[in-house]
Amino acid sequence: MIKFNQIVRNKFLLILFSCTLILSLGNRVDSQTSIIAQNFLNTNYGNNYYSAMLEADRFYKQGDLQTAKRIQQKVKPDFPASNSVPVAVSDIAKLPTVARQDWDTATQAIKEDPQDDKEVETRIFEPLESLVDNYPQFVPAHILLADTYDLYGWGDDALNTIEFASQMYPSREDILDKRIELLLAYGEPLEASIASREFVYSYPNSPKSSTYQSAADEYFKKYQSKLKSKIARNSVFGGIGQAAIGNEAQGINLGQMLLQGESATGTAIANSYKAQANMISDPVQLSYIRGIGNKLAKLMGRNEFEYEFNIIEDPTPNAFALPGGKIFFHTGMLELMDSEAELAGVMAHEVAHAVLSHGYKQLGESALTNTGMNILSGLAGREVGAIANVGGLLLDKKFSRGKEKQADVLGIRVLDAAGYSADGLYNVMAKLAQLEGEGNMAKSLLSSHPASKERMEYLEELIQTKGYNRYGYEGVAAYRGVFPR
């Protein structure tokens, strides 16, 4: 049986080191989770969900995709209509007169370089902001506005502007180039690497994919060099000694581990966690999730990772990714799901976190701050109270919602490419939204993640605007054969 201080330590290790998919929903027993899942199916799909999906899967395997789609359409409710993203425009002449006037006003003022703050605001920022708000399809306005914010020292606004543009038009190389330029200018080489890598894996057939792949590797090396310099300069780890990943006698120097890269970092943390947690060893279940996980991972790149897919005996519906592709599922999450498509949806999201280096970045940032020092000192202590105090520090450290969206974008693209129904992750989020609505949920340890209903709306829009197939392979029989109700 795991000691109490080990349990507390594990929970906070997960908050520090993992990119967690969803919410930790308190200690619900598996049977309650199963009831919630079944009620969700009955409410949203009727009581013939399983039989309908079973039949659809049969036709899908036979290659009769249209019949499979028609069967699923009868059961799955339609998504609400979504506002489509307007087609990108680069020629100002294609926009109305008022838009052209705003563009001319701003570009002329930039040439004249006004020195008065009020004049800068009215002649440059206001017309460009109006263009972006009213004609977001005009890509040059986003780029010029970001450039101008940067010129006048409004760094956050510059980054926010180009991030918004990249979410609208992720395939535009001119937007990506400006995003990378600004990230590097503001000392964010890892973010620049992530942006480049995200493009490569989302648009593998682009003529510039190999160029961006090389750039991603270069920026990642810059980040590691920067990290090494900070560790040496701040002597963060000299005062702490061995970080308590495991017990004190077998601790691992976290600074050295970070510098060895993502794979070494993830392996060390994963091995420590597996040694303390109650891991599931069922060969059938492990073989099943590993087969799906490896299939999806091959579609995402980062072949240098040695991916692992594990199951923890824990009733909370949760899943998380450690650096280097170490993926963990709670039994509570597996109990909540009803199909292979849902499992693949969550799996693709988590693998995307690893592929995009989200956990490694979070770990590096935490380790180089006073908060990181306190975290590691607390983890190295023997007292449960000290570790609990660390929890307060961790809860104050928000995890970027933008990173969740990045993982959604890449994960659903791969889910669709693998032939699964693209709404697999959406259905899991819908069940979690139902759990949230009960009102008895314990305060989430990972409350910085987008609420399930908010995520549902975003996923609906993503699936519709990208034209992903909601009516692919569900795999209900295969899933229930391994994880029976």
Q: Is the pLDDT of residue 387 over 60?
A: no
User: Are residues 155 and 73 part of one domain?
Assistant: no
| Domain edge (last residue) among 233, 250, 271 | 233
Length of the chain: 485
Model pTM score: 0.74
Domain end among 197, 215, 233: 233
Cβ contacts of 66 within 8 Å, gap of 6 or more: none
Residue 274 has pLDDT above 60, yes or no: yes
| Residue 476 vs residues 42, 55, 342, 420, 468: alpha-carbon distances, Å | 15, 10, 9, 11, 20
Q: What is the pLDDT of residue 46?
A: 59
Looking at per-residue confidence, does 314 or 438 come out higher? 314
Asked if residue 375 and residue 312 are part of one domain, the reply reads yes
Q: 98 and 71 in one domain?
A: no
Same domain? 63 vs 21: yes
Q: Average the pLDDT over each of 263-272, 288-297, 476-485 and give the range with the smallest value.
A: 263-272
Query: Is residue 128 in a domain?
Result: yes
Whether 214 and 109 map to the same domain: the answer is: yes
List pLDDT tens digits, range 253-265. Answer: 566 777 788 888 8
Indicate whether 347 and 405 sit together in one domain. yes
φ and ψ of 327, to 5 deg: -110, 135
Asked whether residue 211 falls in the same domain as residue 334, the answer is no
475 alpha-carbon distance from chain centroid: 24
User: Looking at the structure, do residues 199 and 288 belong to the same domain, yes or no?
Assistant: no
Residue 36 lies in a domain: yes
> Is residue 151 over pLDDT 90?
yes
Query: Domain end: 218, 233, 248, which one?
Result: 233
* Cβ neighbours for 18, distance < 8 A, ≥ 6 positions apart: 320, 321, 322, 328, 359
Closest CA to 337 of 57, 38, 19: 38
Are the C-beta atoms of 165 and 146 separated by less than 8 Å? yes
Number of domains in the chain: 2
Instruction: Supply the CATH number for residue 205's domain.
Output: 1.25.40.10
**Residue written as token pair 């009727």:** 46
The domain of 192 spans: 92-233
pLDDT score, position 336: 92
What's the CA gap between 68 and 473, in Å, rounded? 9
- 395 lies in a domain? yes
Q: Please say whether the beta carbons of 319 and 264 come within 8 A.
A: no
Residues 294 and 379 in one domain: yes
With respect to residue 240, please indicate whether it lies within any of the assigned structural domains.
no
Confirm whether 255 is domain-assigned.
no
Say if 124 falls within a structural domain. yes
Same domain? 136 vs 204 = yes
Q: How confident is residue 36, by pLDDT bands cut at 50, 70 and 90?
A: low
Domain assignment present for 49: yes
Same domain membership, residue 98 and residue 70: no
Same domain, 42 and 126: no
Sorting pLDDT into bands at 50, 70 and 90, what band is 356?
A: confident
In a domain, 407, yes or no: yes
Taking a C-beta distance cutoff of 8 angstroms, is the pair 240, 378 a contact? no
Edge-first strand listing for the sheet containing 319-322: 19-20, 319-322, 326-330, 308-312
